[in-house]
């Protein structure tokens, strides 16, 4: 196949990605194209691949079919892959139609592809920054601003179109039918996740035009709910739908009421405990300073304290000092020394006398059978 010449329209094939990136011309623009071709025929050659797939010229071929024109001039380019074809498909059609692509979603797809092709989305450019023309004298933008300006728009406008390309299908349908304007759609896309966009569409009457004011009120509600719900602050935005936020808010409010009720009970108990503690300390203080009760009996509180201290001292004496005595080496010396033995036995008798006196004082009878005669034990 020659690189250029004439070709029958019946042999040509539309590019499979053309409708993804471009709509057919209609209205005044379409009428004007028909008028031009019927008067002057197709003056500029169309561009095709080595497989006779149209790259540039879909609308001209469409007009030729309407007008009964059977043959057109062509220029053939051999492409290595489909991405190269799509890049030329987009750029040639955008330049010829300028911004005649009135579908904002498809225009956004075009700019998204070109940003990716030139590496702007990833922060790299497959071409050198200082090399703005290829070997075939093709202009190559070095950044997003240059890319946008090459098509007569600003970088912000181009980015807005790319946002439009990322909208959910349900919202795209509303834009296509005019229910939602491009500006309203942009406001929705900037502020709402995909799930939230579906919630919005489901909650509004889509049989009539959705105003930007309605969309802003919905967005405001979402933001307020997110701000109130601190537990969801770090969650994934796609999971924060208005329904889940409302449920979480209601649940938190219920839990908060329960906590407030529990806190009140705790506060009441604490106040009661404090009151009782203060009363107890007053009584204790009075008892500590009272030697006797009004009837003259010794204060039971002080008696308990003293007896407890005495019991502790006696237990320490018995367990830690007297009980181990018989195992000490010096006890054998006492047995052999009459003076030491007599002194110890005298002390033991004093201890025994104290024991009997205390039992008698407490009203307990002495059981003589349980009293060990130290001297008799030593004689046995």
Specify the higher pLDDT residue, 248 or 164.
164
DSSP reduced 3-state for 166: coil
Give the rounded percent of residues in the chain with a pLDDT score beyond 70.
69
What is the reported pLDDT for 54? 97
Three-state SS string over 49-102 comes to ECCCEEEECHHHHHHHHHHCCCEEEEEEECCCCHHHHHHHHHHHHHHHHCCCCC
Specify the higher pLDDT residue, 362 or 110.
110
Q: Which helix (H) or strand (E) holds 113?
A: helix 104-117
pTM: 0.55
Average pLDDT over residues 32-55: 94
Q: pLDDT band at 242, cuts 50/70/90? A: low
What is the reported pLDDT for 121? 63
Separation of alpha carbons 208 and 249, rounded Å? 31
What is the reported pLDDT for 325? 67
Query: How far does the chain reach from its first CA to its final CA, in angstroms?
Result: 139
Separation of alpha carbons 128 and 119, rounded Å? 11
What is the reported pLDDT for 135? 38
Lowest mean pLDDT among 13-22, 67-76, 191-200: 191-200
Separation of alpha carbons 357 and 352, rounded Å? 9
Highest mean pLDDT among 230-239, 253-262, 290-299: 253-262
Separation of alpha carbons 68 and 287, rounded Å? 122
Separation of alpha carbons 55 and 53, rounded Å? 6
Q: pLDDT band at 241, cuts 50/70/90? A: low
Average pLDDT over residues 235-242: 53
What is the reported pLDDT for 210? 81
Q: Which of 45, 38, 111 is nearest to 76 (CA)?
A: 45
Specify the higher pLDDT residue, 249 or 291.
249
The yes-or-no verdict on residue 341 having pLDDT over 70 is yes
The answer to whether the beta carbons of residues 49 and 57 sit under 8 Å apart is no
What is the reported pLDDT for 65? 96
- Mean pLDDT score of the chain, rounded to an integer? 78
pLDDT digits (tens, 9 = 90+) for 129-158: 333 444 345 778 999 999 999 988 999 999
What is the reported pLDDT for 295? 47
Q: pLDDT band at 262, cuts 50/70/90? A: low
pLDDT digits (tens, 9 = 90+) for 50-102: 999 999 999 999 999 999 999 999 999 999 999 999 999 999 988 876 555 66
What is the DSSP secondary structure assignment for residue 201, as one 8-state letter? Answer: H
Average pLDDT over residues 185-189: 87
Specify the higher pLDDT residue, 123 or 29.
29
Exposed/middle/buried for residue 160 (C-beta within 10 Å: 0-12, 13-18, 19+): buried
Which tokens belong to 44? 């500029």
The yes-or-no verdict on residue 234 having pLDDT over 60 is no
pLDDT digits (tens, 9 = 90+) for 306-328: 777 788 788 777 767 776 766 66
């Amino acid at each position: 196949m020659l690189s250029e010449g004439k070709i029958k329209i019946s042999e040509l094939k539309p590019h499979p990605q053309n409708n993804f990136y471009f709509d057919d011309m209609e209205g005044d623009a379409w009428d004007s194209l028909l008028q031009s071709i019927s008067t002057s025929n197709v003056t500029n050659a169309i561009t095709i691949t080595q497989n006779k797939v149209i790259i540039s010229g879909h609308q001209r071929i469409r007009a030729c079919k309407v007008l009964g024109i059977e043959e057109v001039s062509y220029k053939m380019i051999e492409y290595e892959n489909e991405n190269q074809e799509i890049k030329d498909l987009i750029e040639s059609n955008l330049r010829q139609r300028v911004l005649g692509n009135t579908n904002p979603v498809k225009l956004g797809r075009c700019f998204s592809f070109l940003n990716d092709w030139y590496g702007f989305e990833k922060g790299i450019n497959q071409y050198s920054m200082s090399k703005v023309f290829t070997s075939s004298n093709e202009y190559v933008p070095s950044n997003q601003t240059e890319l946008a300006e090459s098509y007569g728009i600003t970088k912000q406008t181009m980015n807005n179109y790319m946002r439009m390309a990322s909208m959910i299908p349900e919202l795209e349908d509303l834009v296509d039918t005019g229910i939602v304007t491009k500006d309203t759609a942009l406001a929705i896309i900037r502020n709402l996740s995909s799930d939230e966009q579906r919630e919005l569409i489901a909650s509004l009457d889509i049989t009539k035009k959705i105003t930007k004011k309605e969309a802003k009120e919905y967005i405001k509600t979402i933001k307020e709910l997110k701000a109130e719900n601190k537990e969801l602050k770090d969650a994934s935005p796609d999971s924060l739908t208005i329904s889940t936020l409302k449920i979480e808010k209601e649940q938190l409010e219920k839990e908060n009421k329960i906590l407030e009720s529990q806190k009140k009970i705790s506060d009441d108990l604490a106040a009661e405990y404090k009151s009782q503690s203060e009363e107890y300390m007053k009584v204790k203080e009075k008892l500590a300073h009272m030697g006797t009760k009004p009837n003259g009996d010794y204060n039971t509180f002080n008696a308990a304290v003293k007896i407890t201290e005495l019991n502790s001292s006696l237990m320490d004496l018995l367990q830690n000092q007297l009980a181990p005595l018989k195992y000490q080496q010096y006890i054998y010396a006492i047995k052999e020394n009459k003076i030491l033995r007599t002194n110890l036995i005298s002390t033991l008798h004093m201890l025994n006398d104290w024991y009997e006196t205390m039992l008698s004082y407490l009203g307990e009878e002495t059981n003589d059978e349980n009293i060990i005669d130290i001297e008799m034990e030593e004689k046995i």
